[in-house]
Amino acid sequence: METVITSENFETLKNGSQPLVVDFWATWCGPCRMIAPIVEELAKEYDGKIAVGKCDVEENDELAAEYGIRNIPTILFFKEGKLVDKIVGAVSKPKLQEKFESLL
C-alpha cells in the first residue's frame, strides 16, 4: 500500500524499520502516470517488507530540492535511513522490481 509522503512524515518513514521507496511525481506528468500503476502493484507485492510512498513535487518542493529532483518521475530507494539508489524516468516493471529486490 502506498503512503502519501509529505515533509511531516518523510523522516519517520525514511528512518523506519523497513526500506523506503519514494516516487516523486506531479499530476501533470505523463511518464509519472505511466509508471504509477507499476509502483502501486509493487507496493502491494512488497507490503510488509518495503514501505512505498508517493511525493507530489508541487506540494513538497522542499523535499524535492533536498534530494536534487529536477526530472520526474524520480524514484528514490532508502535503506536504514540512507539513500542507496535512484531511477529517473519511466522504466519497466522488471527494472523496478530488481531495485525493490535489492533493498531486501
Residues identified as active-site: 29, 32
Question: CA-to-CA distance for 98 and 100, rounded, in angstroms?
Answer: 5
**CB contact at 8 A, 97 and 38:** no
What's the chain's length in residues?
104
